[in-house]
Each structure stands twice: as structure tokens, then as C-alpha cells.
């Protein structure tokens, strides 16, 4: 009876660690994507005159590329681009809505995320 308790306890422990690791990984990737959205929205080269301002499609492509680096799959429809400000001092807001899957034996948990370029 004692060995069964140990085996069951180890299985439960392994399950909790596995699920916790997957959720922590998703949260960390979301944090990194938020940081990348801030970088893309800053449009550093265009702001100081080294490059022409990027179009909405260029910004979406940059976000998709940065998300792929973090194993997040996005399509252009999942990315919102809003522009404001003047031509000399543009402000860009970016948001990406996506889902991540946490796999468990017998089922999958779907976690919804919205990463934005705002703090």
C-alpha cells in the first residue's frame, strides 16, 4: 500500500509540474511578445529619419516575425494597428490576440492572451 501511495504521489507531482511549466512558458512568451510590440510600435528608425514610416502591413509582418521567435503563431487578422499623433511625431498602438494550448492527459486547456504595446 505504501508503494502505491508513493507512485500516485509522484504521478500527481509530475502532472502538476508539467502543467505549471507549460503555463509559465506561455506567460513568459506573452511577456516577451509585449516587449517586442513596444519595440515595433516605437518605430525608432522612422522616428529619427533613418527610414520611411512603415505601413500597417509592414508592422503586422514585423509582429508576426517577432511572435514566431517566441513560438507564437499569428495571422494578420489577429493584429490590431492604430495610428495617432502627427506626421512628425506619430504614435502607434499594437495589439495581438491569440490562444495558447496547455496539454494535459485527456484534454487541452486553451489560454487566451492579448498582448499590447502599452505598458
Residue pLDDT, tens place only, 45-65 = 555 555 666 788 989 999 999
pLDDT at 2: 83
Residue 75 pLDDT greater than 90, yes or no: yes
For the chain, give every domain's residue range.
Answer: 2-116
Count of CB atoms within 10 A of residue 31's CB? 12
Q: What is the pTM of this model?
A: 0.82
DSSP for 36-83, written as a single string:
HHHHHHH-HHHHTTSSPPPPHHHHHHHHHHHHHHTT----GGGEEEEE
Is the separation of the CB atoms in 88 and 94 below 8 Å? no
Amino acid at each position: 500500500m505504501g508503494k502505491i501511495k508513493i507512485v500516485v504521489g509522484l504521478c500527481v507531482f509530475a502532472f502538476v509540474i508539467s502543467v505549471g511549466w507549460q503555463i509559465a512558458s506561455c506567460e513568459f512568451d506573452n511577456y516577451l511578445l509585449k516587449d517586442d510590440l513596444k519595440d515595433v510600435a516605437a518605430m525608432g528608425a522612422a522616428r529619427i529619419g533613418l527610414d520611411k514610416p512603415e505601413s500597417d502591413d509592414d508592422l503586422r509582418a514585423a509582429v508576426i516575425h517577432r511572435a514566431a521567435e517566441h513560438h507564437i503563431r499569428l495571422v494578420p487578422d489577429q493584429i490590431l494597428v492604430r495610428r495617432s499623433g502627427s506626421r512628425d511625431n506619430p504614435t502607434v498602438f499594437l495589439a495581438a490576440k491569440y490562444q495558447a494550448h496547455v496539454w494535459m492527459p485527456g484534454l487541452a486547456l486553451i489560454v487566451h492572451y492579448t498582448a499590447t504595446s502599452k505598458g
